[in-house]
Chain A
């Protein structure tokens, strides 16, 4: 059982972490060269017009005034409206629209990672130092080493352009558009923003198939890295477990090798792997950013890159803090799970 004190302590620790991130983001953005006012009015505008817009946006105020204003906004998670990328739209709405896109991609990537990573790790451990083991290890090493911006275009070239198996871009067919809400017992409800879930909620099977078809390739690309890491972790954890006395005892009692490995070894070896999966989810969000760019999927990552390019202060600040919050919450979840599995960690 997780103690309330432990939980409270971890939750309180979130405050200085987020405060640090907020300060860092504000500092970096305002120290970096570039003027959002110039972006808004464009190359054709006069210097006076740029100054006028700077004044309207409060960018001529002393930096500490802007910082305090930003901290006040951050405390309520209200960052105002985007200057340029989603002009006129509250940052909160932009994040709510784009975050599910990235989370969905990361989830599918994680799914592929687990689906292939866990069995490969087990097989590799059980068949240690055989050809299968070596092949799996080399494969895992390659998976970790190959960057997404290289593997993505390569897979598009081969599986999409050359073989014509998958679409090269997007997360649903170009001509498939979904309704904005769905109904449950006559009550209108908002959609989740995750296209495979939404198509099912809307009962649109063709659109669901289209979404799965589109997401397969990007998920595979993002899943390769995850798979490699999980299989390596699974292998080492499994190797450690199968050398334990209780495994030897089980075998000595006459239990079959397969049952021993799967029933006793696998479950115990899974504990550190679960931790890795959780912690790694944050990294997958980062990986999703690259994958989105390569596959033309408009999630929060693509949007963040564009916002940085346009010096869209509110949007960058809001998005980075959302990422930080998500990352710390996932880590907190992992810590809680782990402390549940191993109560010693609460000490």
Chain B
């Protein structure tokens, strides 16, 4: 199905705008097109919300209800909010819009062998929601199955624009209720068979020429919380060559239980524990994705990733989160190379140093090419070439 005015798939190839997709939605589209595969899904755009509101004909009425409300009167506020939200949820969705939404959901389900659960999340535009903590107040619904559950919860997201907290926030910040809108994200629930974290540096020494990956079976929580010892692999960032790898014990895994809508812990058998949880191809894919995330955000990243059991091999790697690495990235990008240190340690007078320093005794620095004899000497004397 093609993206259109009301529906925009993450991988639909349309330039995302904050106005149409909201903050979360536009970020998901941007990440997908930058080669960072987030769990697949689509955004129900702000145009869909506008179309619904205009057909429902309740915009004027809502404005009137909100007019003159006292932000300190919490009980009244809750009552008005509940009324508006019930009104929104009871109004029919225009047939065209409804058909588009159902088609989008079917198209998403068609990517899998059988229907999979989805999450529905609100995605407000930046003017209405200036900070992340507030975004957290928006509604998120997990484990939804079937078209009805999905469309019902899209409407609940729309309604969440008028929770008491949202109304108070706008009142206190002088944000007008005119022109309010809301996009909604419909996204596949991740079904991790293998997951972990990756850093675009070596946390042991801050070396930015490495990518460090921790990987284990199931959902990543056990890796993040340290309940299992994951496989640890260090790769060269430029060539993606494995520099070192240590197999972890990976004794247990958390896997989703669809019927219970929860995660269950189970033992990992000997055979799976004994081998690396990622194949060579999967390892290269995780590293490449981490590298793309770093390039996209222009600073070292700490990402969470998963291989989704519902997606075919080669297309199943998902990026769950990418955030700046803060421990090492405040330091210089690379350690300064020592020059002449080895010679000095052998009791030899330092004869070179940096290319600029020169050396009277042997006239060592060659300005023409900028090389440093002191460092060349040090290289030869270094005992672990």
Answer yes or no: are A and B bound together in one complex: no
